[in-house]
Structure 1
Amino acid sequence: MATSWEIAAKTKREAVLDLIPKEWRIQPPLPPAGELRDVTGSYIQQFLSPREIEITETDTIGIVQRTTTGEWTAVEVTKAFCHRAAIAHQLVNCLHEIFFEAALADAKRLDAYFVEHKRPTGPLHGLPISLKDQFHVKGVETTMGYVGWIGTFEGDKTDPRRFELESELVRELRALGAVLHCKTSVPATLMSGETINNIIEYTWNPKNRHLSCGGSSGGEGALIALRGSAGGFGTDIGGSVRIPAAFNGLYGIRPSAGRIPYLGAANSMDGQISLRSVIGPLASSASGVKLLLKSVLSQHPWLYDPLCVEIPWRSEIEEHTLDLIQKSSSSQGQLAFGIMYDDGFVKPHPPITRALQVVATLLQKLGHKVIEWKPPSHATAAELASTIYGLDGGADASKQFGLSGETMMPQVIIPNPPVPPKNAMEIAAINIAKREYLKLYMDYWNDTAASTGTGRPIDGVIAPVAPHAAVQPMKYFYVGYSAFVNTLDYSSVTIPVTEADKAVDVVDGNYTPINDTDRAVYESYDPEIYHGAPVGLQLMGRRFQEEKMLTLAGYIGDELRRASGSWSPISSQL
């Protein structure tokens, strides 16, 4: 017989489905992944009208160009995205909360405002935005994947803030004119490279349903890949924005801590500040990510969140970077990049290695300097991150799972069962070790000025986000490629590069793994299973270099599209 928590999870899961209008339901069963691995493109389009396809497949920038001028109404755009989000959820299990009726009511108010005032409410006027299920939205539940949070405020049945509190980011998005229509799936605890919990179960990769959509902002990645949202916001403490972005062929940014307001969002291990979780946007283009970040900064979040830093969008940095790009293209200057083919601990799968080679070759053809990146041990950075993730010994996760008695998923990367937490002296020692590592990395970066030929250190580092293109369930063995950036608190943007190709990305039968983790990763690669999976990389800059990294990411992405023949003008608008 089902346990009480299983019944509660099933009831919640069915309640989400019940919020989808009957006319938007897909007749089951959905073909299995072996028969239908890719549900993007023409497959999802069959459930939509031509007008809905036109709206939802327009780039973020293109949408606001039309909604802020009155060419498209907020209601029409919102309804199209709500419909597509409903279909997406039925295909890959990507939504935790649906509030389409509230979204349409908000859209009607925006349209009425435009008619009365002949101007938009803000730069995101009428833009449908999705949110990872950490953000509190008035009138909407937040479970963060925990059965024990159903019907509560973060597990507390008596807290009156349930349905009332809105996260600071939510308040700012509303002020900017965005329309919020759904919240997306997460792994319970948020500490996993896959998205799975006992409520919504498993969220699959839309491009290849043999694989995961990533985590922990996995629902965001899957939904935006299926164009059920024009853009969204996730969080990142070990790669949780960049992993889903890379796995789903999207752009996403991990900004330095304090750039985007976190106030009022639910979290795991709340109060842990040795390695802070950060919020970052995801979208189908670099220009879309830039629009979301720049718009939020225009609200002066540092006046409302005490942990936000007072750094508005710096157009001068963007313009200087564009000037460097222009000079480089006219042979008057040069950009310099580091390329990290592997971190010395785990070798990436063949599709990732090929993507790195593609980008390195492209940058060199464009006249830029490329040097191999061999920094201080990334194994040290990964070990520091792993230690910090377990500072409380797993106590917080144990408490939250204990609220309902539900089973913890094996993909969670924190201590289970709990172990003794670190004491104050131990935490201080970890923070000192981290500080020393940061100094080593800073010095290494500075020293590259001697070899770039530009008179300055490298402009950015191209690196894997993970050792694999997406991942098979239960086979995410190593987060070092993403977590080292969090240890450094550097800015990093994902860039879609290519897709896995079984005819090209073959297994290297002569490779000898250098350790047990490397062996597990090596043996998890199957060219047939991975075929068609999106392959993305990350472009990393130093702390608070978001403007520069987004500008460079847009430039590299456009050049990749030009080289492949798929460049489109709207995607290049920066």
Structure 2
Amino acid sequence: MAADWESRAKAKRDAVLNLIPAEWRLKDIPSREEQKDVTGSYIQQFLTEPEVEITETDAVGLADKIAAGKWSAVEVTKAFCHRAALAHQLVNCLHEIFFEAAILSAQALDDYYAQHKKTIGPLHGVPVSLKDQFHVRGVETTMGYVGWIGTFEGVPNDPRRASFESEMVRELRNLGAVLYCKTSVPHTLMSGETVNNIIGYTWNPKNRYLAAGGSSGGEGALIGLKGSPGGFGTDIGGSIRIPAAFNGLYGIRPTSGRLPYEGMANSMDGQNSILSVVGPLATSARTLRLLTRSVLSQQPWLYDPLVVDMPWRDAEEQAIYEIIKSTSSKGRLSFGVLKTDGTVNPQPPVQRAIAMVAEALEKAGHKVIEWKPPSHRRIVDVVIKTWIYDGGKDVHGAFALSGEPISLQIKSSYGDKPKEEYTASQIAATNIAKRKIQKEYMDYWNSTAEETGTGRPVDGVICALAPYPAARPEKYDYYGYSLWVNGLDYTSVVVPVTTADKSLDQYAEGYVPISDLDKKTFEAYDAEIYDGAHVSLQIVGRKFTEEKMLAIAEYVGGLLGK
């Protein structure tokens, strides 16, 4: 059995590499000791000047250039295919390549533009990458499982394998997007590191000693190397925000029911206490806005029964701009700042980033208060329970299809074999606990109106997304900073802040950890290894505040020079 899964995994891995044209293959790939950072000038050396210009333009700029007839969809698509191919060879970030189909799609878009002198939609000719949960016609979905190779979600001979597409894929095609690759995930999706037995480990391109994040780790790494201007991931415990943060990107975790999830592969399908949500990652905040607004223009609530009938709301976005322009004290924005959740303190680079953002906002005239919410530990406990409702039956069943081993990152949550399943009464009790905590947090948020001086509760909460700038392999031990957002179903946007600096980012001498988990986090920190790594934060808003939080993220990014 071992030889069988290994040979199947190798065949799949080789098949992906063989789809990269010979002229795009790298002869020598340096070790991380030889080249820690493969972003910027390193990857640029393998591209032409026009390819660099195209791939370092964000999606809004690409859409504008293509609509003006300055760039063709084909030349833009080829440039991103080339850069994506390089990215995969450097950090293992792709599960599926369909460059030829993408170029044919781009040519059809160019033909339409030539005939009608207009675009077919706001994403006309813009390449969009997808996490390997999305089903794309004619393209396999393995979700990192060897046992899913050659099947439809592990089911052999299922007729949907070659023809089925996820709802959002249909919508993206309608909008004119060019789909060209699917990106790597940790098998099961349940990890902040991306590792599986097909492609191995997905490395952080800014610092190849570190993780690219997970579970949308391939998206984070690919976009971090500018092999994509923007793409879509999913988030049930931080899986959009973690890769966005680790790779210095913008990313949004919307409230569940805002964007369509219909027809996507998943783990533990039917667990409805804490829903996984889909959202974009990108190199700019305005790209997140473009992608989110474009998808909503397709009225996804007509095609996905779980999507709320809520079109893009210009008024919500405009209200933020008006506040920013205002000179009155009641017109300023206000923020809560969470320096620690009391279980694990952020590592020094993350602590410095929190101070930087708070200082920038105060200097710009906005109100910043200390965030003292109800216990996050209680929220985190509820979320983790939902992951094991079935005792691990679903994920262990997927591993059993091939007999492949479970990565250490996944084994820590699911063990070597399934455990006892939750009863209906236990699930109901968990749901009640979740609702009570959500109400407590809502009441606390409302109470902050007394402190802000704006007549409103805080507009957002600034906090770490993880205690690390990026995790070291097999050392992602604490998810509390991302999980509380999922438990409350809040909207959260990641904003890049700075990079780690070994001369600035040191623990205080004699530092005493506040818990066993904090001790692990402290011991995992190495200022030399982390030097130069991206450091990002999340700004959390209340439910269904996507327009508001995207406007705030763009504004804060501007204050930071991002």
Task: State if a TM-score over 0.5 links the two structures.
Answer: yes
Q: Distance in 1 between matches of 2:193 and 2:508?
A: 26
Say yes or no: does 1:170 pair with 2:153: no
Name the Cα RMSD after superposition.
Answer: 1.0
Amino acid corresponding to residue 365 of structure 1 in structure 2: K
1:133 corresponds to 2:136: no
Q: Secondary structure at the match of 1:3?
A: helix
1:356-505, aligned counterparts within 5 Å? 356-412=354-410, 414-416=413-415, 417-505=417-505
Structure 2: distance between partners of 1:148 and 1:92: 23
Q: Tell me the CA shift for residue 60 of structure 1.
A: 1.5
Alignment of 1:117-156 (within 5 A): 117-156=116-155
SS of equivalent to 1:288: helix
Q: Which residue of 1 aligns with 2:316?
A: 317
How far off is 1:331 after superposition?
Answer: 6.2
Normalised to the residue count of structure 2, the TM-score between the two structures is 0.99
Distance 2:423 2:114 in 1: 60
Contact 1:69–1:120 (CA<8 Å) still a contact in 2? no
Corresponding residue SS for 1:215: coil
Once residues 421 and 331 of structure 1 are traced to their aligned partners in structure 2, the CA distance between those partners, rounded to angstroms, is 54
Q: In the alignment, residue 25 of structure 1 is paired with which amino acid? A: R
Residue 468 of structure 1 aligns to a residue whose secondary structure is coil
Letter paired with 2:347: H
2:181 is paired with a residue whose SS is: strand
Q: Deviations over 1:310-340 (max 9, x none)?
A: 0100001011111011115x76721110001
2:334 to 336, 340, 358: 336
TM-score (structure 1 length as normaliser):
0.97
Q: Does 1:56 align with 2:55?
A: yes
- Matches of 2:303 and 2:395, distance apart in 1: 29
What CA distance in whole angstroms lies between the structure 2 residues aligned with 1:388 and 1:454? 38
Q: Hey, what does 1:270 align to over in structure 2?
A: 269
1:64/1:166 CA distance change after superposition, 3 Å: same
Cα displacement string for residues 226-250 of structure 1 (whole angstroms, at most 9, x for unaligned residues): 0111100000000000000000000
Deviation at 1:508, TM superposition (A): 2.4
Q: Secondary structure at the match of 1:493?
A: strand
What secondary structure does 2:538 align onto?
strand
Counterpart in 1 of 2:101? 102
SS of structure 2 residue aligned to 1:475: coil
Structure 2 partner of 1:517: 517
* CA deviation profile, 1:245-298 (whole Å, cap 9, x unmatched): 000000000000011100010000001100000001010011000100000000
Amino acid at match of 1:540: V
Amino acid aligned to 1:470: A
Amino acid at match of 1:524: A
Task: Check the 8 A contact 1:235/1:241 in 2, yes or no.
Answer: yes
Correspondence list, 1:194-209, <5 A: 194-209=193-208
Distance, in Å, in 2 between the alignment partners of 1:290 and 1:142 is: 27
**Residues paired across the two proteins, number:** 560
| 1:348, distance to aligned residue in structure 2 (A) | 0.5
Q: Given that residues 330 and 453 in structure 2 are in contact (C-alpha distance below 8 angstroms), is that contact kept between their aligned partners in structure 1?
A: no
Post-superposition offset of 1:2: 5.8
Q: Which amino acid in structure 1 is aligned with residue 370 of structure 2?
A: E
Tell me, in whole angstroms, the C-alpha distance in 1 between the residues paired with 2:102 and 2:333: 44
Q: 5+ residue gaps in structure 2?
A: none
CA distance in 2, matches of 1:393, 1:349: 33
Q: Is the 8 A contact 1:249 1:496 kept in 2?
A: yes
Partner deviation per Cα, 1:339-398 (whole Å, 9 max, x = no partner): 011101100000000000000111110111100111000111111111111111111110
Question: Hey, what's the Cα distance between the residues in 2 that align with 1:159 and 1:31?
Answer: 42
Which whole-Å deviations, capped at 9, do the CAs of 1:42-86 have from their partners, x for residues lacking one? Answer: 000010000000000012111110112221100000000000000
Q: Secondary structure at the match of 2:176?
A: coil
Aligned equivalents of 2:311 and 2:246: distance in 1? Answer: 30
Task: Indicate which of 342, 346, 349 corresponds to 2:347.
Answer: 349
Q: CA separation in 2, counterparts of 1:74 and 1:211?
A: 34
Between the two proteins, what is the percent identity of the paired residues? 62
Matched, 1:14 2:5: no
Instruction: Work out whether residues 507 and 525 of structure 1, in 8 Å CA contact, stay in contact via their aligned partners in 2.
Output: no
Deviation readout 1:532-571 (Å, 9 max, x if unpaired):
110000000000000000000000001100xxxxx6xxxx
CA contact (8 A) 1:131 1:182 kept: yes
Question: 2:292 corresponds to which residue?
Answer: 293
- Please, which runs of 5 or more residues in structure 1 have no aligned partner? 562-566, 568-574
Distance 1:334 1:324 in 2: 6
Distance in structure 1 (CA, Å) of the matches to 2:418 and 2:504? 44
Q: Is the 8 A contact 1:94 1:203 kept in 2?
A: yes
- 1:76 aligns with 75
Question: In the alignment, is residue 535 of structure 1 matched against residue 535 of structure 2?
Answer: yes
Q: Which moved more, 1:157-166 or 1:76-85?
A: 157-166
Question: For the residues of structure 2 that align with 1:334 and 1:130, how far apart are their CA atoms?
Answer: 37
SS of 1:123's equivalent in the other structure is coil
Kindly provide the CA deviation profile for residues 115-165 of structure 1, in whole angstroms up to 9, marking residues without a partner as x.
Answer: 111100100000000000000000000000000000000000021100210
Could you list the runs of 4 or more consecutive aligned residues of structure 1 that deviate by over 6 angstroms after TM superposition?
none
Q: Which position in structure 2 is the counterpart of 1:545?
A: 545
Cα contact 1:95–1:184 (8 A) shared by 2: yes
Partner amino acid for 2:470?
Answer: A
- Distance in structure 2 (CA, Å) of the matches to 1:21 and 1:194: 29
Letter in 2 for 1:23: E
